[in-house]
Chain A
């Protein structure tokens, strides 16, 4: 297909040039009705904030330019079908899950999944079978899925309908996607990949294997992360064995009928850019990240890890565009370095967890900013270096799933102070941002260790979200226990 085309973008340009008189929504009418907003965002931006109309197609039922743009995206990503998503990659993940799993269906997945995966189980009633991720104790991070563990889980749970793989992880760790896909397919299970951090795998040189290339059935790809599209835009990819019409019906259950053309055109233009120029873009990102990694490792005490972690299984491959830096030898938690960088050095990194920070390197970076980050880390070491102590070794706590997230979420519950919650069954989520991985999900047993971990994360400045109690001083637990409801 002709990847130099961008049908949706072209249609929007035509519409703008045609000077159509708007007697439809949005009411700001190309920005004229909202001067302060137009001054802030710019006239060009407002002039394409339009509603779906005949020449611009309709995301809920695409027949022309959106259909063409999605077909070009599918072609660029090597997928059978692609769907433009306007509810973030969260909506793409939900669509994958809802299109595959029904009430009571079992799904094999690693614990370090994104919140959206667990939320989608509340919606569809699926029951999780967690594979505890292998962890690297020195770094305090979860690794990929071990093929042996997956194989065991597939054997023990042959009734499972699907397996979800988180690839690459936030830190850049990749699993053996091809082997896991083969195993799952051999047992009649679908393979869903949360590929939020893997857009560049489809376009860069020497990148880890992408989900579509590995033969996965569906993949949720955050084009707005490494792909350069606008925040909240995303793409859902489907392999050849997926009924795309059913997937569209599922998407339409929760998707807006007023999809933003700003988001949609950003997907179209970014796809074209990646298809035409992706190799050069990601070569540059790789060079920046590698340069920074070498310089940071030279400072001492920091450990910017990379391909040396590869062990053939739980770290099958590593995404070298990710600049993940372990801070534990400095005597500081990652979240502390994250805060210092922002508060004292005006540098915002992507996240800090207990042991690491992740600096997001992209095509938008300049070498002087990379130098600033390196120098700031050097300065932080000079000023704050302490003893490696009082840091919890690992933040991953194996969950005990007592019932499905949906059953627990909708069950009768009562609120108790967090210190008295141990041994209860949790009725809500507890997430820690960073890193955005669940500590508790509905239907799981609360343990003393979990309570301590929550208190520790709070003390270290992580933002805890999920519970009704905004400051996470209390938790909702189930009134009575009905196992495997």
Chain B
């Protein structure tokens, strides 16, 4: 068997590699380079422009954490807008709430969705939910034009170096603010505090969200295949507080089976390492 490895630079001096059994697909779409691999350790995984997006083995951590935290704070969420998330994982987790009425998804790259439907059914199954409304559109433009008010906006973006760049701008967060209802919550993947480039993106995203939303908190998860394994999410709102307003009883009554998320971890996830708190304080 060939000694075939997928490698990604986590910093200019650090490389992360997964032994690959085969490359299932590769193409250059209008927006990015899309690859799907098969591996023994992580199952199938998707990369965009050479950056790992998700693996079958650890995607549950990311998707549970980007969805359930907001849902446990405000069980009354009805209308959701998802930006990015072309793999369907966010839709799958949202689909588990009977109370949600509509899930709009704005993904820029139709090919990502099509390829995930073909090769990654474990996440792409999320698109089968009848409440999902899929739009192939630039996220920034979509939010600017939408006339709807959302209770929750989830930004499942790539890193700010790729097509996801616009989803880390002040103008984007401003448009989200306008598109959110009074109790609205914005959740975004918030990069990592560890390696320099990621940390800079994390800080600048925090600074920009702070300039738009009165409540702006950061929580963390451990995601083995992301740079440093230590990944952050942003929780921003017009008033709802992720700890004080946590409705643990109501969430537990829903009996949603999860592998990573639970309401104890919910509280703990907002307790950040000192060095991360210090980085965030610089902007507060």
How distant is A365 from chain B, measured CB to nearest CB, in Å?
Answer: 14
Verify B171–A368 contact, CB threshold 8 A: no
Instruction: Tell me which residues across on chain B come within 8 A of A346, comparing CB atoms.
Output: 169-170
Given A345-B170, A375-B144, A379-B170, decide whether A368 and B165 contact each other with a Cβ distance below 8 A: yes
Instruction: Tell me which residues across on chain B come within 8 A of A382, comparing CB atoms.
Output: 174, 177-178
Verify A345–B169 contact, CB threshold 8 A: yes
CB of A374 within 8 Å of the partner chain: yes
CB of B140 within 8 Å of the partner chain: yes
Tell me the complex Cα distance, A233–B120, Å: 53
How distant is B18 from chain A, measured CB to nearest CB, in Å?
Answer: 30
Chain A, 115-139, contact with B by CB distance < 8 Å: what is the 0/1 string?
A: 0000000000000000000000000
Tell me the complex Cα distance, A368–B171, Å: 12
List residues of B (158-194) whose CB comes within 8 Å of A's CBs: 163, 165-166, 169-172, 174-175, 177-178
Chain A, 22-43, contact with B by CB distance < 8 Å: what is the 0/1 string?
A: 0000000000000000000000
How distant is A389 from chain B, measured CB to nearest CB, in Å?
Answer: 24
Instruction: Tell me which residues across on chain A come within 8 A of B138, comparing CB atoms.
Output: 367-368, 371
Chain B, 124-146, contact with A by CB distance < 8 Å: what is the 0/1 string?
A: 00000000000000101100100
Chain A residue at minimum C-beta to C-beta distance from B143: A375
Verify B175–A375 contact, CB threshold 8 A: yes
- CB within 8 A of B140: which of A345, A375, A383? A375
Chain A residue at minimum C-beta to C-beta distance from B164: A368
List residues of B (82-139) whose CB comes within 8 Å of A's CBs: 138
Size class of the contact patch on chain B: 10 to 19
Instruction: Tell me which residues across on chain A come within 8 A of B258, comparing CB atoms.
Output: none
How distant is A75 from chain B, measured CB to nearest CB, in Å?
Answer: 37
CB of B211 within 8 Å of the partner chain: yes
Verify B174–A371 contact, CB threshold 8 A: no
Instruction: Tell me which residues across on chain B come within 8 A of A374, comparing CB atoms.
Output: 141, 144
Tell me the complex Cα distance, A382–B141, Å: 16
Chain A residue at minimum C-beta to C-beta distance from B178: A382
CB of A378 within 8 Å of the partner chain: yes
Verify A372–B163 contact, CB threshold 8 A: no
- Which of B166, B174, B175, B178 has the most C-beta atoms of chain A within 10 angstroms of its own C-beta? B174
Interface set of A (CB-CB < 8 Å, partner B): 344-346, 367-368, 371-372, 374-376, 378-379, 382-383
Given contacts A368-B165, A374-B141, A382-B177, 19 further A-B contacts (CB under 8 A): A345-B169, A345-B171, A346-B170, A368-B166, A371-B140, A372-B169, A374-B144, A375-B140, A375-B141, A375-B169, A375-B171, A375-B172, A375-B175, A376-B171, A378-B174, A379-B174, A382-B174, A382-B178, A383-B174
A-B CB proximity, top 10 nearest: A379-B174, A375-B171, A376-B171, A379-B171, A371-B140, A375-B144, A375-B140, A368-B166, A345-B170, A371-B141
